[in-house]
Amino acid sequence: MGLPWETSGVAFAVLTCLLGGAAAYMAGRGLALTWQPLLRLVLYMLVMGAGLRFLHFALFDGTLLSLHYYAVDTAILIAAAGLGYRLTRVRQMATRYRWLYRRSSPLTWSER
């Protein structure tokens, strides 16, 4: 396996990590705010990964149909979306059900 980028590290960092990661984080946050299941997040990130792969192709002459780069892009998107989802869900549980749960760390809650 090669490096996670194909055209340039800067394009990968800006497009995949920064822009794609921010969009995925907000999507995960939105799914948590509407109490959607975690499986839906994964399905949405699979679609967003295909869109991100197209942007790499259209803007930076990357490979459109590359399973390796699609998997890397999608894994980063799922991680960012999962972080947004979990941070939001912990905040929801600790504030809406404060008589039952308290925040024990940024990513977990525990019973009172």
Tell me the pLDDT tens digit for each residue of 7-27: 778 888 889 999 999 999 999
Q: pLDDT-derived band of residue 5, with 50, 70 and 90 as boundaries?
A: low
| pLDDT given at position 71 | 94
Tell me the pLDDT tens digit for each residue of 52-88: 999 999 988 888 888 989 999 999 999 999 999 999 9
Pairwise CA distance, residues 106 & 32, whole Å: 15
At 23, list the tokens: 């969009």
pTM of the model: 0.88
| pLDDT given at position 108 | 86
